A = this chain, B = another copy of it.
Amino acid sequence: MRSLPDASVDVIFADPPYNLQLGGELHRPNNSRVDGVEDSWDRFDDLATYDAFTRAWLAEAQRLLKPDGTLWVIGSYHNIFRVGAALQDRGYWILNDVIWRKSNPMPNFRGRRFTNAHETLIWAARSQESRYTFNYESMKALNDDLQMRSDWYIPICSGGERLRDAEGRKQHSTQKPEALLHRVLLASTRPGQLVLDPFFGSGTTGAVAKRLGRRWIGLERDNDYARIARERIARVEPLTDPSLIEIKPKREAPRVPFGWLVERGLLEPGTLLYGPGRRHCAKVRSDGTLIASGPEGDHRGSIHQVGAALQGAPACNGWSFWHLDVEGRAVPIDVLRQKLRAEME
């Protein structure tokens, strides 16, 4: 970075080491071993060392940015708070924090925390005075004519897009999906502008920049990574008319778990539910499970599980099985779900 001139870059996209601090080995319930990030480039002695590293590259990045330039950084809870605080300390002006919601994150195998299903991006201008680029209309068009929100639902990089060697091993442990960079660059750069990625890795930034007709610089100190990236980008065909090809965002199915009805107050814990013909009865608990008394003791579980158990059936659709008593009439609980779905739109 030190060899590049002042105020020469329009946008910087940075995917620095996250400093994950992983402990021992982790296994899936089927005893297979999780292939975690154990690369030497992700190891720092302590938080102070990581902070010094962060402040150093953020300072250079600010020097390289044009006055109206912006910076993107991606990270997880391990590092993003330190990066964000350092940004603000240096006078960068945060424009948004953006959540990359993963459609297919790795589960939490031990059941000890919430599934870590997202990463965080910070989008910041070089200073509070920067007159930055934001392609509002492109983003709105990409989102079915609704303003693009700060939470993005995008799959992780896998399948054919994931770079692998002849033995099928992934060539970079943290390759980012092109869909993510597509949205970043489409939102914050104009065709022909210069994008710098100081942690180039497998070269996703360069590949997408080339395709979208942006110029790019990638910095990578590992020679293998640099070679992989060069070969990858050489295979990319630039779009001659980018307006013709848009990556449509992934739509999420509007699933409504039964527990949400309790959480949102549409259903009080303790409410009684009835099966068809009032032959069965169960009580709603505060976590959205049911409790019912059967001939062989209590049944607890989801609306589907308890419905199945009471009928002695292998499966049951709880949404149509269970009913509320509304002034003597039996009303299927599915009407509450429809109500909530309507509120969600």
Chain A residues packing against B (C-beta within 8 Å): 25, 27, 31, 47, 76-78, 80-85, 87-89, 94-99, 101, 103, 105, 107-108, 111-118, 120, 122-123, 134-139, 141-145, 147-151, 153-155, 161, 178-179, 182-183, 186-187, 212, 239, 241, 243-245, 247, 255, 257-260, 262-265, 269-270, 283-289, 291, 297, 301-302, 311, 313-316, 342-344
Residue in contact with A151 in the complex, picked from B97, B118, B244, CB distance below 8 Å: B118
Contact of B96 with A287 in the complex, beta carbons under 8 Å: no
18 A-B pairs whose Cβ atoms sit less than 8 Å apart in the complex:
A77-B97, A77-B122, A81-B84, A82-B84, A99-B118, A105-B149, A111-B147, A115-B150, A116-B150, A137-B287, A141-B302, A142-B259, A142-B260, A142-B262, A142-B288, A143-B259, A155-B343, A186-B287
Contact of A259 with B117 in the complex, beta carbons under 8 Å: no
Contact of B287 with A141 in the complex, beta carbons under 8 Å: yes
Contact of B148 with A115 in the complex, beta carbons under 8 Å: yes
- Please name all residues of chain B whose beta carbon is closer than 8 Å to the beta carbon of A85 when the two chains form the complex: 81-82, 84-85
Q: Which residue of B lies closest to A298 (CB)?
A: B243
Bound together, the chains give a CA A37 to CA B314 distance in angstroms of 21
Q: Which residue of B lies closest to A78 (CB)?
A: B94
- Please name all residues of chain B whose beta carbon is closer than 8 Å to the beta carbon of A316 when the two chains form the complex: 31
Bound together, the chains give a CA A83 to CA B186 distance in angstroms of 31
How many copies of this protein are present in the complex? 2
Bound together, the chains give a CA A138 to CA B301 distance in angstroms of 10
Contact of B114 with A283 in the complex, beta carbons under 8 Å: no
For the complex of A and B, 6 pairs with smallest distance between CB atoms: A81-B84, A142-B259, A144-B257, A117-B149, A138-B287, A31-B313
A120 CB to nearest chain B CB (Å): 7
Residue in contact with A99 in the complex, picked from B134, B151, B183, B265, CB distance below 8 Å: B151
- Please name all residues of chain B whose beta carbon is closer than 8 Å to the beta carbon of A291 when the two chains form the complex: 243-244
Contact of A142 with B287 in the complex, beta carbons under 8 Å: yes
A170 CB to nearest chain B CB (Å): 19
Q: A81-B81, A270-B241, A285-B245 are in contact. Are A149 and B314 (CB under 8 A)?
A: no
- Please name all residues of chain B whose beta carbon is closer than 8 Å to the beta carbon of A187 when the two chains form the complex: 114
Contact of B114 with A96 in the complex, beta carbons under 8 Å: yes
Bound together, the chains give a CA A139 to CA B113 distance in angstroms of 10
A266 CB to nearest chain B CB (Å): 10
- Please name all residues of chain B whose beta carbon is closer than 8 Å to the beta carbon of A95 when the two chains form the complex: 113
Contact of A115 with B147 in the complex, beta carbons under 8 Å: yes
A2 CB to nearest chain B CB (Å): 26
Bound together, the chains give a CA A82 to CA B86 distance in angstroms of 9
Residue in contact with A101 in the complex, picked from B87, B105, B151, B244, CB distance below 8 Å: B151
Residue in contact with A255 in the complex, picked from B137, B144, B182, CB distance below 8 Å: B144
Q: Which residue of B lies closest to A155 (CB)?
A: B343
Bound together, the chains give a CA A83 to CA B116 distance in angstroms of 20
